[in-house]
Amino acid sequence: MITVTLQYYAQLREQAGTGRESCDTSAGSLRELYEELRLRHGFTLPVDALKVAVNAQFSDWSRELADHDTIVFIPPVAGG
Amino acid sequence: MSHFSLAAAAVDVVRLRAGLQDPASGGFCAFEGWVRNSNEGRDVDGLEYEAYAELALIEGERIVSEAMARYGVNAAHCMHRTGHLKIGELAVWVGVSSAHRDEAFRACRYIIDEIKHRLPVWKKEHYVDGDTAWVACAHTQRQHEHEHRHPHDHAPHVHVPKPLFVPDYSRQTRLRAVGDSGQARLAAARVLVIGAGGLGCPVLSYLAGAGVGTLGIVDGDRLDASNLHRQTMYDARDIGEPKVELAARRITSLNPSVVVQTHAEPLHAGNIAEVFAAYHMVVECSDDMRSRYLCNDAAVITGTPLILASIHQYEGQLQVVGAKPGEPCLRCLWPQEPAPGDTGTCEESGVLGPVPGVLGAMQATEALKLLLDLPAPTDHALLLVDLLDQTMQRLPIDPARGCALHGGCIAVATAALKQARDDRTMDIAFDDLDAAITAGYALVDVREPEEIATRPLSVASHALPSTQIESRADELPHGRVLLVCASGRRSRHAARLLRDRGMHDIHSLAGGIAALSAATARAPN
């Protein structure tokens, strides 16, 4: 089990009810982590609709997690 | 007949009117300005107009030509008197003839407002008590449009005739990296701004103020009361007016030296590349994901730098697409346009007014940086701005991990634009649903059941929610099918999914039910 910091933007922030949280997880990859969170928060966006960044760098969804990673989920937004 | 004339003696209005007769015109609108017997509480018994004739003729001609181009009217003329006039005499006459009345009214209004504001004409008022005063007509700041009274307008006092407006850019040319050469670059620049809403207002205002020579504006919407908390170029009296016209007028009053080109219809896959090619840069300020992808593709194909921003509630995103080989584009981040509903809109999610102000000001800054070749980071990034947390996060984009994996940005954009052109044959507009049925379409309502219950269609249709369209495709009627939703977005997305499965006779009602109501409600002209 590792601890990571999560940041949410746009609809994800709305659906999670927070912009930032700490999370203990045993997910093997970013993709698995997002699926876990999807169940917990009821995220409606599929993983393919998002970008993910780890420690301020965009990342592949297959990336493994490390303790104390800061992970940001970014949906495209359309408002103007 | 020229479009503008000065007359030293009374003119026959019937003759002026006859000059505007046009077989293609179904409407004529005229305005007459008369000499009134009082001004600012003083009794007036006559006045005298003096014009700087050479300039007035050029400026008058320009104003009437602008109105004709802007409103598409058939004929227009303005006559301004000079010399001595008595109470009740005709001082200024404007006439416009056009196909329909609306353009005639608008063009007429535009001409008289601009004449009052811009024409180098001065009037000397003769008061009943024997006193006289010169009053510059050009300082009235379009009072009749906005009813704001300028504090200096009160007591009539002597005004020194004012020259035409000369912009003063000293506060920016003082910047060493800008200077006179930078200012000249701005004056030569042509920038297209797509969307004159929350982001577009600051972008247009700052670029006009900075002296960008030509500003193009694309917006198909009319101002709504719900826009006013964030769209700072407009006021409550503008509600219902087309935003492109309001924005064009606002820019002209902010900086008359800027040339404004308006596009009152959204760009589409068929014309966007051609329009982009006429500009040096595009700033995307719409609230429409489809427009953002379309702009991205056209920018990449035409090599036009594109400044993207979008907002959601309290946050925003900013990306500068350089549109040069090796530089990442929007599709390098999110390859496919998200399904409608995957992205929020201001209408559904809400937005704090200053949020688009912040992001729009950043877009304007990026535009000026590019035009002036100011220092900028050498890598490319997505900037996330969170105004609740007061944080900005800059995420560098690795171009090698984006479109490069799928043939490169240009190949990806070319394929996407080709599909978007195909999509245009998919969208079909009807004035009412009976017309669709007469044309042989079977209607399928793809809204959710609760939406259908709230606002059922007026004609027979099948119901199949867009979310289930692929799994239940075998339930669709045979033959030509027209998918219908509230705005045309979900139906288009569903039609695309079905066409990708080889079902080519599937169409989408353009603009959805909302467009139907507008067409049905439109009063006959």
CA atoms within 13 A on the CB side of B407: 8
With contacts defined as CB-CB under 8 Å, which chain B residues touch A72? 384, 393, 395
The reply to whether residue A79 touches residue B345, judged by beta carbons under 8 angstroms, is yes
Strands (E), chain A: 2-8, 20-25, 51-54, 57-58, 70-74
ipTM of the complex: 0.89
* Residues near B282 by beta carbon (within 8 Å), at least 6 away in sequence: B191, B192, B193, B194, B276, B295, B298, B299, B304, B305, B306, B307
Put the strands of the sheet holding A51-54 in their side by side order: A20-25, A2-8, A70-74, A51-54, A57-58
Rounded to a whole number of angstroms, the distance from the CA of B76 to the nearest CA of chain A is 37
Give the residue-averaged pLDDT of B157-169: 62
* Residue B138 pLDDT: 44
CB contact under 8 A, A72 and B384: yes
How many of the other CB atoms lie within 10 Å of CB of B338? 20
Rounded-to-5 percentages of helix, strand, coil across chain A: 30, 30, 40
Q: Name which of B318, B393, B403, B467 to mutate to probe chain A: the one with the most chain A Cβ atoms within 10 A of its Cβ.
A: B393
Q: Is the pLDDT of residue B163 over 60?
A: no
The size of chain B, in residues, is: 525
pTM for this model (two decimals): 0.66
Residue B44 pLDDT > 90: no
Select from B32, B31, B28 the least CA-distant residue to B103. Answer: B28
pLDDT in tens, B310-328: 999 999 999 999 999 999 9
Tell whether the torsion through CA atoms of B58, B59, B65 and B66 is positive or negative. Answer: positive
Whether residue B175 is predicted with pLDDT greater than 60 in this model: the reply is: yes
Q: DSSP label at B342?
A: S
How far away is chain B from the Cα of A58, in angstroms, using its nearest Cα?
Answer: 7
Beta carbons within 10 angstroms of residue B444's beta carbon? 24
Cβ(B44)–Cβ(B126) below 8 Å: yes
Shortest Cα–Cα distance, B203 to chain A (Å): 12
* Arithmetic mean of pLDDT over chain A: 94
Cβ contact, residue pair A56, B395, below 8 Å: yes
Report residue B201's pLDDT band, with 50, 70 and 90 as the boundaries.
Answer: very high
> Which of the residue ranges B113-117, B274-278, B291-295, B471-475 would you say has the lowest mean pLDDT?
B113-117
Pairing of strands A51-54, A70-74: antiparallel
Q: Which of B23-32, B85-94, B117-126, B143-152 has the lowest mean pLDDT?
A: B143-152
pLDDT tens digits, one per residue of B352-384: 999 999 999 999 999 999 999 999 998 999 999
Rounded Cα distance, A20 and B178, in Å: 41
Nearest to A79 among B200, B287, B341 (CB): B287
Alpha helix locations (H) across B72-154?
101-118, 143-146
Any CB–CB contact under 8 A between A44 and chain B? yes
A75 to chain B, any CB pair closer than 8 A? The answer is yes
CB-CB neighbours of B244 under 10 Å: 23
Concatenate the DSSP letters of all residues of B365-414 into one string. Answer: HHHHHHHHT----SS-EEEEEETTTTEEEEEE--GGGTGGGGT-HHHHHH
Backbone angles phi, psi at B495, to 5 degrees: -65, -40
